[in-house]
């Protein structure tokens, strides 16, 4: 007797990526993302343009995910979607689509918290990747969020620290804007940082008590520093771009690592997981790998395809909730400030 397969369609539309993925019993069959290049010329995401692009992309993206998975829409066991947090207009597109599809197919609908999904992406079956065991500390670092979460079980998560102003991804992106780099600047700063001297320039770290973060002061410090240097030498940025990027990245990574060390000290938990767009950063990845031998931590780095926003992470939460029969009603609403 063979057990019935569970096919989950995950849909992600919280910001500027329209994504759909299919998992069979927790393993990926397809993972499709349509990026919205329209925002690049504005130096940031324009919410109204994002929701319009989601409307155009969602049907072809879901269709592609089904085709790549080699299954028919009637094989689906459930539809999981990002309920929040995120941009309201963007969330509404995914939410309405998921509700209609689940209703039409008469299959369960599952609401997913985007920040939980960045953490639970570590439970997608993937060769060469181990899953963390409970409890562990998760640091979610993205363009919209920066949190330290104590994860006691799949859905037992306690936020023990978070940013009081900008997210860490914003610190990368806004620094990049000051330097005249394109949006999002995180990957470009990372690339240049590899070629520069991380201690060429010193930026003071913000003094925030406990496990909370602040990045807005750092952004202002970088702005004033660059303005001053450019007055002295108009070619300062182009002559020192790699060193500037390396120094900014070094400062940001130190801030993140300091808070992680404190979190380990306060909780006694030394299994560390990272998630979110900034977890693609080579600086944080190297620092965490070093911490394994330096402090005896066990660290879990996500595969690159699961760092930035994707639907496989939504589908895995869908799968975990499907097994617990945690289904949503048709009355479920998108929630832009949904908490963990």
Residue numbers at the binding site for Zn ion (CB under 5 A): 142, 309
Kindly tell me the number of DSSP H helices and DSSP E strands found in the chain: 9, 10
Least distance (Å) between residue 183 CB and ligand KG4: 8
Encoded one letter per residue, x for contact with ligand KG4 by CB under 6 A and - for no contact, window 123-162 reads -------------------xxx------------------
166 sits near ligand KG4 (criterion: CB under 6 A) = no
Distance CA 53, CA 35 (A): 9
Distance CA 124, CA 275 (A): 13
With CB under 5 to 8 Å by kind, the binding choice for 318 among Zn ion, ligand KG4, none is none
Distance CA 243, CA 224 (A): 17
**Residue pair 292/300 in contact by the 8 Å Cβ criterion:** no
Phi then psi for 121, rounded to 5 degrees? -55, -25
The region of 60-68, 97-105, 126-134, 165-173 touching ligand KG4 under the rule CB under 6 A is: 165-173
**Residue pair 193/200 in contact by the 8 Å Cβ criterion:** no
Nearer to Zn ion, 166 or 309 (CB): 309
Q: Is 219 helix (H, G, I), strand (E, B) or coil?
A: helix
Using CB under 6 A, count the residues that bind ligand KG4: 19
Distance CA 263, CA 146 (A): 14
Encoded one letter per residue, x for contact with ligand KG4 by CB under 6 A and - for no contact, window 293-322 reads ---------------xx-------------
Cα–Cα nearest to 77, from 110, 38, 44, 48 = 110
The region of 35-43, 183-191, 211-219, 311-319 touching ligand KG4 under the rule CB under 6 A is: 183-191
Is-cis flag, bond preceding 135, omega within 30?
yes
**Token pair 């939410």 is at which residue?**
95
Inter-CA distances, 208 with 164, 165, 225, 255, Å: 9, 11, 21, 10
173 sits near ligand KG4 (criterion: CB under 6 A) = yes
The region of 1-9, 95-103, 181-189, 323-331 touching ligand KG4 under the rule CB under 6 A is: 181-189
Least distance (Å) between residue 334 CB and ligand KG4: 15
278 sits near ligand KG4 (criterion: CB under 6 A) = yes
Nearer to ligand KG4, 111 or 144 (CB): 144
Tokens of 244: 């500037």
Nearer to ligand KG4, 104 or 180 (CB): 180
280 sits near ligand KG4 (criterion: CB under 6 A) = yes
Binds ligand KG4 (CB under 6 A): choice among 85, 186, 302, 318: 186
With CB under 5 to 8 Å by kind, the binding choice for 26 among ligand KG4, Zn ion, none is none
184 sits near ligand KG4 (criterion: CB under 6 A) = yes
Nearer to ligand KG4, 300 or 322 (CB): 300
Question: What length does the chain have?
Answer: 340
With CB under 5 to 8 Å by kind, the binding choice for 78 among Zn ion, ligand KG4, none is none
Nearer to Zn ion, 119 or 245 (CB): 119
Phi then psi for 218, rounded to 5 degrees? -65, -45
Phi then psi for 292, rounded to 5 degrees? -60, -50
Binds ligand KG4 (CB under 6 A): choice among 277, 291, 302, 314: 277
Distance CA 80, CA 10 (A): 5
């Amino acid at each position: 007797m063979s057990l019935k397969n569970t096919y989950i369609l995950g849909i992600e539309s919280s910001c500027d990526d329209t994504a759909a993925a299919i998992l069979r019993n927790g393993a990926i069959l397809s993972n499709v993302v349509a990026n919205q290049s329209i925002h690049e010329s504005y130096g940031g995401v324009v919410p109204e343009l994002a929701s319009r692009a989601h409307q155009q992309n969602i049907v072809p993206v879901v269709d592609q995910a089904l085709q790549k998975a080699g299954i028919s829409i009637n094989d689906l066991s459930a539809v999981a979607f990002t309920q929040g947090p995120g941009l309201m207009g963007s969330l509404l597109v995914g939410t309405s689509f998921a509700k209609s599809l689940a209703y039409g197919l008469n299959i369960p609908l599952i609401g997913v918290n985007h920040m939980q999904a960045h953490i639970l992406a570590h439970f997608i079956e993937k060769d060469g990747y181990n899953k963390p065991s409970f409890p562990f500390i998760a640091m979610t670092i993205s363009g919209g969020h920066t949190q330290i979460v104590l994860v006691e079980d799949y859905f037992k998560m306690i936020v023990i620290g978070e940013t009081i102003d900008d997210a860490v991804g914003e610190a990368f992106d806004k620094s990049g804007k000051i330097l005249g780099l394109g949006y999002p600047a995180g990957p470009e700063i990372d690339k240049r940082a590899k070629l520069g001297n991380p201690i060429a320039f010193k930026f003071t770290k913000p003094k925030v008590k406990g496990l909370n973060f602040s990045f807005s002061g750092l952004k202002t410090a970088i702005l004033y520093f660059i303005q001053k240097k450019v007055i002295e030498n108009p070619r300062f940025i182009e002559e020192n771009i790699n060193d500037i990027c390396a120094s900014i990245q070094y400062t940001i990574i130190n801030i993140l690592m300091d808070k992680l060390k404190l979190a380990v000290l306060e909780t006694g938990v030394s299994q560390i997981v990272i998630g979110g767009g900034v977890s693609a950063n080579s600086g944080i990845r190297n620092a965490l790998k070093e911490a394994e031998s330096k402090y005896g931590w066990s660290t879990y780095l996500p595969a690159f395809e699961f760092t930035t926003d994707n639907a496989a992470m939504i589908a895995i939460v869908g799968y975990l909730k499907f097994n617990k029969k945690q289904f949503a009603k048709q009355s479920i609403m998108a929630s832009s400030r949904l908490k963990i």
